Amino acid sequence: MTEFTVKPIRRRKSIQLLLGFSFIATIGGVLAPIIAYLIPRENAAAYGGPSEVGAPEDFPLNSGKIVSVNDKPVIIVNTKAGGLKAFSAICTHLGCVVTWNERKGIIHSPCHDGLFNPVNGSVISGPPPRPLPQYELVVKEGKVLVGKPLGNIYGERSGE
Amino acid sequence: MSRESEPAAPREPDLLPFWPHYVLSEFIAWYIVLGVLITLAALFPAGLEEKANALQTPEHVKPEWYFLAVYQFLKVASVFASLGSEAPRLTGILLPAIGMALLFFLPFLDRGPKRPARRRPLLLILTILILAVVIALTVWGQYS
Amino acid sequence: MLNPTRVSQGLLAWIEERIPVQAWIAASLHVTIPRSAHTFYLGGITLFCFVVQGTTGILLALYYQPTPETAYDSILVIMNQLNFGWLIRSVHAWSANLMIIFCILHLLRIVLQGAYKKPREITWLVGMGLLFLTLGFGFTGYLLPWDQRAFWATTVGTEIAGAVPFIGDFVRQFLRGGADVSAATLTRFFGVHVLVLPVALAGLLVLHLLLIHQQGLADPEGDENE
């Protein structure tokens, strides 16, 4: 038979253990709800179907316009090469909202001069790491409707 | 401790160390209060009425319980109406204010050397009386 | 290899060499209390309630929005959508009531034990200041949910302040930030509740505790100037 060698636990020691455990348990019990409370709630403005952003006449050829879709900025561009397209207007570099560069006919981020292709959202030059995600866009009954982001929210890296 | 023969001799107080004896008991008291707080909050969560509407006064507007006594006293002060049209409002405000001022300056009003309440019957009677009036006004305010 | 015990000991020694922390802690803890001064822990419990109010109050202020349009809705979000939001607001409300109750009980003990007598008059005055600030917390905090009870209790409460002779009209306007209870009242009460009163109360509290520490607790069985 194996011989058990158990260290005897003294009463003082066990009381200390109990007190320490209940103290830590109390701290945890107080901190846990506080941390849970600090977690932001889900964005209330969740996707509620395609939203109307205007009529096709509002987006003439060689133009780009920022519209709000579910509280997020989206740029609607109309080019000869790509037609009417919708991209996220949040630059993938540092989150600035992009603008339409009339002269060059491309999407321009004002923060660090990132340039994006208005046909597929890919990065032409500058620091942005990823292309602009494209959004679903349909023209129905004389209305331009913007829906969900297409594919991966981060899009695909151009030239890969 | 009986020193009948020398009543004037200074009495040595029996002392308790603050640390750890008193601190430990204080911690236990806090522990109990924390438990009471969470129990009360879980059983009776804070309520919320309809959104404020400046065009519609609800029935039974009441202040918080700790202002009820003053609120009720202001109502009761209408008995002073015989002294003039402004008398109820003035007494209703001024008497509680004077009461608070007297309490504020208590150490300068009561300058006797005796400390324990049982050796100061006047103070004991006054405290009980004032407490009774305030509690009565609060309860009256709650149920009127 | 780094031994955590030795690292922490080294760090403590490093600090101790520069500022005598241990001596400060020893000086603040090694005092005695007359056994006859039954405190019933009333002042300490009031202090604990204040700590609870500070903690839960900061948490509530992270989500609360002090405008008439959004205040009520932000309370609804706290109560219904955030994790444990109902618990934090309810604890804040209950602790506010307990804090006032224990303030009053503490005051009664001081009166009945005659602890306000010489040389502790200043501690008493500071304590009365703490009581008034606590009542101010209750009065300003009551408006913040912007529900019917809050709005009308504040209307009536500021109206009562307006009954003070001579300066009443000014006091009422000053409290409301205008002629009526409005958006200006809400931002005013919010600012006072979360900025002015906490700073004032914390300052007086430190003074109160310092005085108690320096003078010790009064022995109710001994007479003044013992």
Interface residue C59 vs chain A (CB under 8 A):
yes
Does the beta-carbon distance from C149 to B116 stay under 8 Å? no
Contacts of B42 in chain C (CB under 8 A): 87, 90
Q: Are residues A98 and A130 in the same domain?
A: yes
**Which H helix or E strand runs over C194?**
none
Q: What is the DSSP letter of C39?
A: -
Tell me: pLDDT of A157 over 50.
Answer: no
pLDDT in tens, chain C (226 residues): 678 889 999 999 999 999 999 999 999 999 999 988 889 999 999 999 999 999 999 999 999 999 999 999 999 999 999 999 999 999 999 999 999 999 999 999 999 999 999 899 999 999 999 999 999 999 999 999 999 999 999 999 998 888 888 898 999 999 999 999 999 999 999 999 999 999 999 999 999 999 999 999 998 887 765 4
Does the beta-carbon distance from A37 to C81 stay under 8 Å? no
Does the beta-carbon distance from A33 to C62 stay under 8 Å? no
Contacts of A36 in chain C (CB under 8 A): 83-84
Q: Are residues B27 and B71 in the same domain?
A: no
Residues contacting C158, CB < 8 A, separation 6+:
C172, C175, C176, C181, C185
The pLDDT, as a whole number, for residue C89 is 97
Q: Is C199 helix (H, G, I), strand (E, B) or coil?
A: helix
Q: Are residues B67 and B130 in the same domain?
A: yes
Q: Is residue B124 part of a domain?
A: yes
Average pLDDT of the residues in A136-154: 81
The closest of B35, C58, C98 to A29, measured between CA atoms, is B35
Query: With pLDDT > 90 as the criterion, what percentage of chain A qualifies?
Result: 43
- How far away is chain C from the Cα of A31, in angstroms, using its nearest Cα? 11
Contacts of B61 in chain C (CB under 8 A): 149, 152-153, 155-156
Q: Are residues B93 and B139 in the same domain?
A: yes
Top residue of A30, A37, A38 to mutate, by most chain C CBs within 10 Å, is A37
User: What are the Cα distances from residue C162, in Å, to C171, C176, C180?
Assistant: 6, 11, 12
- How far away is chain A from the Cα of C53, in angstroms, using its nearest Cα? 14
Residues B88-124 pLDDT 10s: 888 888 899 999 999 999 999 998 888 888 889 999 9
Q: Is residue B6 part of a domain?
A: no
Residues contacting A128, CB < 8 A, separation 6+:
A91, A92, A93, A109, A114, A116
Q: Is residue A2 part of a domain?
A: no
The closest of A124, A140, A160 to A50, measured between CA atoms, is A140
Q: Is residue A31 part of a domain?
A: yes
Does the beta-carbon distance from A33 to C81 stay under 8 Å? no
Residues contacting C199, CB < 8 A, separation 6+:
none
- How far away is chain C from the Cα of B48, in angstroms, using its nearest Cα? 7
A135 phi, psi to nearest 5 deg: -110, 150
Task: Check: CB of residue A145 under 8 Å from CB of residue A138.
Answer: yes
CATH number for region C41-215: 1.20.810.10
Does the beta-carbon distance from C29 to B18 stay under 8 Å? yes
Measured distance CA(C143)–CA(C14) in Å, rounded: 50
The pLDDT, as a whole number, for residue B8 is 56
Amino acid at C69: E
- How far away is chain B from the Cα of A78, in angstroms, using its nearest Cα? 47
Contacts of C74 in chain A (CB under 8 A): none
The pLDDT, as a whole number, for residue A155 is 43
**Alpha-carbon dihedral angle through residues C3, C6, C8, C13, given to the nearest 10 degrees:** -160
Task: Check: CB of residue C8 under 8 Å from CB of residue C68.
Answer: no
Q: Is A134 helix (H, G, I), strand (E, B) or coil?
A: strand
Provide the pairing of β-strand B15-17 with A114-116: unpaired
Kindly indicate the confidence band of residue B140, based on its pLDDT and cuts at 50, 70 and 90: very high
Residue B25: HSE in the Cβ half-sphere, 13 Å Cα cutoff: 12
Q: Are residues A35 and A55 in the same domain?
A: no
Residues contacting C86, CB < 8 A, separation 6+:
B45, B46, C78, C79, C80
Q: What is the CATH number of the domain that holds A129?
A: 2.102.10.10
Q: Are residues A31 and A67 in the same domain?
A: no
Measured distance CA(C220)–CA(C39) in Å, rounded: 11
- How far away is chain A from the Cα of B46, in angstroms, using its nearest Cα? 17
Name the E strands within A3-105.
Answer: 51-54, 63-69, 72-79, 83-88, 99-101
Does the beta-carbon distance from C117 to B111 stay under 8 Å? yes
Interface residue A26 vs chain B (CB under 8 A):
yes
**Which H helix or E strand runs over C23?**
helix C21-29
Q: Are residues A56 and A123 in the same domain?
A: yes
The pLDDT, as a whole number, for residue A44 is 53
Q: Is residue B53 part of a domain?
A: no
Average pLDDT of the residues in A36-46: 75
Q: How many domains does chain B have?
A: 2
Q: Which chains sit next to B, with 3 or more Cβ pairs under 8 A?
A: A, C
The pLDDT, as a whole number, for residue A43 is 58
Domain that holds residue A95: 51-149
User: HEC string of chain B?
Assistant: CCCCCCCCCCCCCCEEEHHHHHHHHHHHHHHHHHHHHHHHHHHCCCCCCCECCCCCCCCCCCCCHHHHHHHHHHHHHHHHHHHCCCHHHHHHHHHHHHHHHHHHCHHHHCCCCCCCHHHCHHHHHHHHHHHHHHHHHHHHHHCC
Amino acid at A144: V
Average pLDDT of the residues in B129-143: 95
Residues A88-108 pLDDT 10s: 999 988 889 999 998 888 999
Q: Are residues B32 and B80 in the same domain?
A: no
Measured distance CA(C84)–CA(C90) in Å, rounded: 10
Interface residue A16 vs chain B (CB under 8 A):
no
What is the number of helices (H) and of strands (E) in chain C? 10, 1
Does the beta-carbon distance from C33 to B19 stay under 8 Å? no
Q: Are residues B72 and B121 in the same domain?
A: yes
Query: Largest alpha-carbon pair distance within chain C?
Result: 77
Q: Which residue has the tokens 């679903």?
A: A136
The pLDDT, as a whole number, for residue A2 is 59
Q: Is residue A158 part of a domain?
A: no
- The whole-chain average pLDDT of chain A stands at 85
Task: Check: CB of residue B27 under 8 Å from CB of residue C44.
Answer: no
Q: How many domains does chain A have?
A: 2
Size of interface B-C (CB pairs under 8 A): 202
- How far away is chain C from the Cα of B45, in angstroms, using its nearest Cα? 5
- Joined together, the tokens standing for residue B123 give 């103070």
Query: With pLDDT > 70 as the criterion, what percentage of chain A qualifies?
Result: 87
Does the beta-carbon distance from C85 to A39 stay under 8 Å? no
Q: Are residues A35 and A97 in the same domain?
A: no
- Joined together, the tokens standing for residue C224 give 């003044």
- How far away is chain B from the Cα of C6, in angstroms, using its nearest Cα? 27
Closest residue, chain C, to A37 (C-alpha): C83
The pLDDT, as a whole number, for residue A149 is 85
ipTM of the complex: 0.91
Domain that holds residue B76: 60-144
Q: Are residues A28 and A55 in the same domain?
A: no
Sign of the CA dihedral running C155, C156, C161, C164:
positive
Contacts of A45 in chain C (CB under 8 A): none
Interface residue C60 vs chain A (CB under 8 A):
no
Q: Is residue A45 part of a domain?
A: no
The pLDDT, as a whole number, for residue B144 is 81
Q: What is the CATH number of the domain that holds B69?
A: 1.10.287
- Joined together, the tokens standing for residue C59 give 């948490």
The closest of A70, A71, A79, A90 to A134, measured between CA atoms, is A90
Domain ranges of chain C: 41-215
Residues B16-69 pLDDT 10s: 999 888 999 999 999 999 999 999 999 999 999 999 999 999 888 888 999 999
Interface residue C13 vs chain A (CB under 8 A):
no
Does the beta-carbon distance from C146 to B51 stay under 8 Å? yes
Query: Largest alpha-carbon pair distance within chain B?
Result: 76
The pLDDT, as a whole number, for residue C225 is 55
Q: Is A153 helix (H, G, I), strand (E, B) or coil?
A: coil
